[in-house]
A and B are shown apart, each in its own frame.
Chain A
Amino acid sequence: MLGEGILKGLTETARNFVGSFVSAERLITVEYPEQRIASFEATRVFPFLVYDQENRDGGGPEWEAGLRCVACQICEKECPPKCIYIEKSKDKKLDYLGKAQYYPARFDIDISVCMSCQICVEVCPFEAIKMDTEFELSATDRFGELLLDREQLAKPNEYYRQIHPSEATEVDARLAEEKAKADAKTKAAADAAAAKDAAVTKRAVRSEEPSNR
């Protein structure tokens, strides 16, 4: 009969109305500033620059010395909204492999332009740029405060491990492997050089020997 559906609907809404007072699990609202839920591991907001804390020769503050970024500018070129600006350094610094590399003299990301696409992270061959989970970034100045520079972007690897644990473990393992490989190579090269030296000295010694006779 006409009107049955309306009555059915009214019962349903009444059940919701009463139920929301009776059972707490119906109310799924998270009252944000007071209540928070932990972010998911795959959460991504804006990119940040990873730096290693266990560090190497370079002077200056830790974040500057440990930056993994080598200013290759791939992310700058790939960025769809062009929100990354990089200036390459004139000099070189040792990277984690002990190799001399350029470093970014300037690295700016305009987060008012960034669209959180993660392409910079995908293309980076040095595991230097990763996605952050920090989302409370409101600022009073639209231009100055939303343009993040190197220092604001740099965050330790430890932080990366915290926010994306499984991803970070993978990255760390890969880097360790590369380092081990590089170490082995340098060691092999050093051994070879040492062997060569030894051979040279041996030969020299041998060539001297007859004169001693």
Chain B
Amino acid sequence: MTETLDQIFVILQHWLVGFLPAGVRSTAGAAIGVAAIVSVFPALFALTTVLERKGLARIQNRIGPNRVGPLGILQPVADGIKSLTKEDIVPLSADSAVHFLAPLVLVVSVFMGFAVLPMGRNMALVDMDAGLLFYFAMGASTELSVFMAGWSSRNKYSLLGAMRAVAQMISYEVPLLMSSVTVVMMTGSLSLTKIVEAQNRYTWGLPHWYIFTPWGFAGFVMYAIATTAETNRSPFDLPEGESELVAGYHTEYSGFKFALFFLGEYLAMFSISGLGATLFLGGWSAPFSFLRWVPSWFWFFSKLTLSIFVFIWLRGTLPRLRQDQLMNFAWKFVLPLTLLNLFVAGLWRLMGNGWERWAVCSAILIGAYAAMGRVQMRSGHFDPRSYRYAE
């Protein structure tokens, strides 16, 4: 029974495919998987938009949307109808082809990332040997779409927003990869399914998730910072800083294309949260061994929702950074720590199974964090701004 519930979607897929002739079965199976992803995650997106608005409202002691449907839960339907019926305006001087393609490229490349995520036992659409590599390749191509949008709009705000977005995403791509590489070092595989299986072991009822190791914890924190920047979420939402840039690279988008951008951003957030859960939080494995009877996909989606909640919480708490703070943070703080973390992960691997590795690795990481924090938090002395070349 437990087994059936755990594999219910896989069984369903096989049952559906069974009606078809043998020749098209594998294609049809993939198509069903794609259809599931393409319907589940946008639904989650719709739910998230309204819950995010309500959550942010509660953080600010407001009520939030409560007009459409019971408790405002149908708000996304109204939003959807609105964005579908709105006029689609393309600026006269815009490069219309690129302008049209940009949101599509974004959504497609974000959806591609979902293909390799194991959303439950046997529930990865494509079990690729280099799944992580594929994921990051797809994630990196969202930058292209952002720049396409900013460039084709022929609008200074769009272009500035796109420049910022690209600078930010490329800067944080490095710590993102570096913090993930530690997991690959430990598992010895780029396959996400293998990474989850490596964490799906229990000692005294507790899981072997990578977050419960010093390097894993440090890696997870830096991964979380980098993903927040990578998905342009607050406090790293400079690319669409409303107070400075109207709306950043999607200033010139309206109606359904804007909705696609919105969808793309949220989907990127989901998929990167899913990846984070897979890498550090044990993917679909249960948090305690006695909870292993609960379906694996439930655990994956709980971890995903928890990450989304943290994203919203951070958005409700932190103010936006300045561009130089953003860059300094990426290159001077996160990147050195991720490099150090690579070293620590290696050390962890080489030091055997004793308690010493816990002490040594934790000490190195905490010491480095405290020292770097202290040095970089030292309040700088600012002179009047001088321009060396523009006098």
A residues apposed to B, CB below 8 Å: 1-3, 6, 9-10, 12-14, 16-17, 19-21, 26-29, 31
Alpha-carbon separation in the docked complex, A10 to B310 (Å): 10
* Residues A14 and B61 in contact in the complex (CB < 8 Å), given A1-B373, A3-B373: no
A16 — which chain B residues lie within 8 A by C-beta? 58-61
Residue contact B58 to A20, C-beta cutoff 8 Å = yes
Residue contact A21 to B369, C-beta cutoff 8 Å = no
Alpha-carbon separation in the docked complex, A21 to B373 (Å): 36
CB distance from A20 to the nearest CB of B (A): 5
CB distance from A113 to the nearest CB of B (A): 31
Residue contact A2 to B377, C-beta cutoff 8 Å = yes
Q: B62 within 8 Å of A by Cβ? A: yes
Main secondary structure of the interface of A (DSSP, over half): helix
Residue contact A20 to B61, C-beta cutoff 8 Å = yes
CB distance from A35 to the nearest CB of B (A): 11
Residue contact A9 to B61, C-beta cutoff 8 Å = no
* Residues A17 and B58 in contact in the complex (CB < 8 Å), given A9-B318, A10-B313: yes
CB distance from B382 to the nearest CB of A (A): 20
A27 — which chain B residues lie within 8 A by C-beta? 61-63
Residue contact B317 to A17, C-beta cutoff 8 Å = no
Q: Could you tell me how many residues of chain B have their Cβ less than 8 Å away from some Cβ of chain A?
A: 20
Residue contact A31 to B63, C-beta cutoff 8 Å = yes
Q: B357-391: contact bitstring with A at CB < 8 Å (1 yes, 0 no)?
A: 00000000000011011101100000000000000
Alpha-carbon separation in the docked complex, A21 to B59 (Å): 10
Alpha-carbon separation in the docked complex, A58 to B247 (Å): 63
Residue contact B370 to A1, C-beta cutoff 8 Å = yes
CB distance from A156 to the nearest CB of B (A): 37
Residue contact B59 to A29, C-beta cutoff 8 Å = no
Alpha-carbon separation in the docked complex, A29 to B377 (Å): 39
Residue contact B316 to A13, C-beta cutoff 8 Å = yes
Residue contact B318 to A6, C-beta cutoff 8 Å = yes
Residue contact A26 to B376, C-beta cutoff 8 Å = no
Alpha-carbon separation in the docked complex, A3 to B377 (Å): 10
10 additional contacts (CB under 8 A) given A2-B373, A9-B318, A19-B61: A1-B373, A2-B376, A10-B313, A13-B316, A13-B317, A17-B59, A17-B316, A28-B61, A29-B62, A31-B66
CB distance from B236 to the nearest CB of A (A): 13
CB distance from A16 to the nearest CB of B (A): 5
* Residues A26 and B61 in contact in the complex (CB < 8 Å), given A10-B313, A13-B317: yes
- Select one of B59, B63, B316, B317 contacting A6, CB under 8 A: B317
CB distance from B318 to the nearest CB of A (A): 7
Q: B55 within 8 Å of A by Cβ? A: yes
Alpha-carbon separation in the docked complex, A86 to B374 (Å): 73
A21 — which chain B residues lie within 8 A by C-beta? 58
CB distance from B170 to the nearest CB of A (A): 24
- Select one of B61, B317, B370 contacting A10, CB under 8 A: B317
Alpha-carbon separation in the docked complex, A138 to B156 (Å): 38
Alpha-carbon separation in the docked complex, A28 to B372 (Å): 43
Of listed A2, A27, A28, residue having the most chain B CB within 10 A: A2
Q: B31-45: contact bitstring with A at CB < 8 Å (1 yes, 0 no)?
A: 000000000000000
Alpha-carbon separation in the docked complex, A6 to B314 (Å): 9
Alpha-carbon separation in the docked complex, A155 to B58 (Å): 43
A10 — which chain B residues lie within 8 A by C-beta? 313-314, 317
